Amino acid sequence: MVSKLIALEAYPHLKDLDFRILRGVELNMRHHRWVPLEDIARFARTDVETASHRLGKLDSWELVRRRSDIGYIGYQLTIHGYDVLAIRAFSRKGIIEAISTTQIGVGKEADVYAAVTPGGKRVAVKFNRIGRTSFTRIKLYRRDFMDKRHISWLYISRLVAQREYDALQLLSPVARVPRPIGWNRHAIVMEFINGVELADLREGELSREDAEGILDMVLDEYERIVEFGVVHSDMSEFNIVITEDHDILIIDWPQYLPTAYPESIEYLKRDITVLLNSFRRRWRVEKDFNEVWNRFYNAWTRSRGG
Ligand SMILES: Nc1ncnc2c1ncn2[C@@H]1O[C@H](COP(=O)(O)OP(=O)(O)O)[C@@H](O)[C@H]1O
Ligand SMILES: [Mg+2]
């Protein structure tokens, strides 16, 4: 399902006041499910009437949501409003100059769009659309989560983006992953990868021998990453990209776990199972699970200083 970047339709119409209003809604959502109109007006340094008028516009562009049956008039930021704030931040920091409304990547938990930097370089912007799997994984990684009463999607999707940015920073000097360029709120900007997702290759497009070669490259690469101390935990044919020059890249890292976490061994085992199964099912590449698993188990143990 390809979706348009709704944030971009409103963006050209927005004034400085609108951005202040959106910021006011965002910040106050830490304390309110529905942020009172008065608080927003105060934050935006304007009167209630003007704030209400602009919020009506922002509502019609789907950047905020309004509610009046709660004893007062309150507003919430929508995901599109959050997109607007992230795009504005990237633009002010000189990270991106323009972004395309057409989606390049449709994933499970994110929408990815092409953009260009002020220097004319093509980059990818990944906006998190928070889902269940990364949430479960993050709970494991960030136990302090469990104590929070009011866990908002704002907070979680921001944490998810930060984690992926951290993973890419950690790994890009040593492994074939996209180079990270910037991070803001629930979005990251990274090097644009020209290539095709392994999952998008049809049966006839890849011979069994070529598929076997690719699997070997992926296993070698992943073994080095595990030895370095990181488990992907969402490894699949959807997260492997084959570039024009027949190289492979492993993408989509927000749910990574350091091998220092004992639980990471279970995720590693699942990653290897998923990989071998999909190559067997689609290209009849047979690999002995135990043999491969031995390699990875050893790499995992070595990474923990064992
Ligand atoms: N750096 C990039 N350059 C080009 N396309 C990308 C890039 N990162 C992701 N994509 C595309 O977007 C899709 C979704 O991104 P991904 O990181 O896998 O997120 P999700 O969690 O939604 O699966 C990918 O499968 C890929 O097609
Ligand atoms: Mg993915």
The model's pLDDT over 203-246, given as tens digits with 9 standing for 90+, comes to 788 999 999 999 999 999 999 999 999 999 999 999 999 998 88
Q: What is the dihedral of CA 226, 222, 253, 276, to 10 degrees?
A: -120
Same domain, 261 and 200: yes
Q: Is residue 63 classed as helix, strand or coil in its secondary structure?
A: coil
Beta bridge partners of 35: 75
Give the chain's radius of gyration (CA, Å). Answer: 22
Q: Which residues line ligand 1 (CB under 6 A)?
A: 104-105, 107-110, 112, 124, 126, 178, 190-193, 197, 238-239, 251-252
Expressed in angstroms and rounded, the spacing between residue 109 Cα and the centre of ligand 1 is: 10
Structural domain total, the chain? 3
CATH number at residue 46: 1.10.10.10
Q: Is residue 261 classed as helix, strand or coil in its secondary structure?
A: coil
Residue 244 lies in a domain: yes
Same domain, 206 and 297: yes
Residue type for 284, please?
A: R
Q: Is residue 113 classed as helix, strand or coil in its secondary structure?
A: strand
Q: What is the average pLDDT score of the chain?
A: 92
Residue 88 lies in a domain: no
Among residues 191, 216, 242, which one ends one of the domains? Answer: 191
Residue 47 lies in a domain: yes
Residue 1 lies in a domain: no
Q: Which atom of ligand 1 has the smallest separation from the CA of 238?
A: 25
Residue 89 lies in a domain: no
Same domain, 160 and 209: no
Same domain, 13 and 63: yes
Residue 85 lies in a domain: no
**Angle subtended at Cα 257 by Cα 191 and Cα 244, rounded to the nearest 5 degrees:** 30
pLDDT 10s digits, 23-50? 999 999 988 999 999 999 999 999 999 9
Q: Which atom of ligand 1 has the smallest separation from the CA of 134?
A: 21
pLDDT 10s digits, 262-293? 999 999 999 999 999 999 999 999 999 999 99
Same domain, 99 and 160: yes
Choice from 2, 240, 251 to test ligand 1 binding pocket (greatest atom count within 8 A of CB)? 251
Same domain, 146 and 163: yes
Which amino acids are annotated catalytic?
Answer: 234
Q: What is the DSSP string of 67-79?
A: E-TTSS-EEEE-H
pTM summary value: 0.93
Beta bridge partners of 98: 116
Same domain, 203 and 292: yes
Residue 49 lies in a domain: yes
CATH number at residue 185: 3.30.200.20
Q: Which domain holds residue 144?
A: 95-191
Same domain, 284 and 298: yes
- DSSP 8-state assignment for residue 47: -
